[in-house]
Structure 1
Amino acid sequence: MADKSIIEKAKKIFENYLVRQGSRKTPERFSVIDELYALPQDEHIDVEGLFLRMRNNGYSISRATIYNTLDLLVECGLAVKHQFKDKVALYEQALTYKHHDHYVCNQCRKILEFSDQRINLIKEEMGNTFSANITSHSLVLYGDCQIRDCKNLPMH
């Protein structure tokens, strides 16, 4: 169940961003926030999945509007865009985003999120090595699913 206060906060941030950019505040754009933020917090979705979800929920919206709106949401910090290996771009909500890294299975394509404090130690050490203030990082681990009878494995 989506947290209505988070969705309303996201909409307010988006509205202010659109006003500053001189962009139109259309109901379709705000409906993308409704659907993206209705997903479980750790879920990643592509444009096609979001399009089908929105159509199934009665919205009349084009893929182009979804693409453009997601780009705007990434620009204003309300969505995070990921490009995993050979996959299409995937998005996740960012308002309550806590940094995490990803494991992607080469076989079943399942995406799992994880956090490990040791990565922050490496980041700090590399910052010292490079005399830099490292402000962000991205780590994606790829592996082969070892889950017996994994329901996500593609049919052959």
Structure 2
Amino acid sequence: MAEKSIVDKAKKIFENFLLRQGSRKTPERFSVIDELYALPQDEHIDVEGLFLRMRNKGYSISRATIYNTLDLLVECGLAVKHQFKDKVALYEQALTYKHHDHHVCNQCRKIREFSDERINLIKEAMGEEFSSAITSHSLVLYGDCQIPDCKNLKLV
């Protein structure tokens, strides 16, 4: 869960973004920030999960509002959107985002984050080889679950 000052900072950034865009500042949009930033920092959530979470807490909000707000949060740098293999889009908070890569289990669908300095060495080498200033990358590794009695395992 993000601390209050992080959430306040995110709301201020979003407010300024909406003003520059000429968009409305609605309570529903800001409630999406509250709920996204209430998640553990390494958690990823889809629109349906966020919708159910918010409905269970008594928010009156539509899926369309959540979709649109998440798009705006991605645009202004407050959320990161990921599209893993056959999964729906997943989002995570971005204000305190430190670049990381992902491992997705083919069996249980659990997403694990990792960082490895060797990837930056590869990125630099490829930048030199292609005469390119590499500014970002995305790496997702897929594998089969080897965790005994995995609670996330979905039997087919």
Aligned residue for 2:78?
78
Aligned residue for 1:89?
89
Aligned residue for 1:32?
32
**RMSD of equivalent CA atoms:** 0.6
Aligned residue for 1:15?
15
Counterparts of 1:31 and 1:73, CA distance in 2: 12
1:3 paired to 2:11: no
Aligned residue for 2:147?
147
Structure 1 stretches of 4+ moved >6 Å: none
Q: Between Structure 1 and Structure 2, how many residues are aligned?
A: 156
1:142 to partner: Cα distance:
0.1
TM-score by length of 1: 0.99
**Matches for 1:78-117 after TM superposition, within 5 Å:** 78-117=78-117
1:76 to partner: Cα distance:
0.2
Structure 1 unaligned blocks of 5 or more: none
TM-score by length of 2: 0.99
Structure 2 unaligned blocks of 5 or more: none
Counterparts of 1:57 and 1:98, CA distance in 2: 29
Counterparts of 1:62 and 1:2, CA distance in 2: 24
The percentage of counterpart residues that share the same residue type is: 88
1:149 to partner: Cα distance:
1.1
1:58 to partner: Cα distance:
1.1
1:155 to partner: Cα distance:
3.3
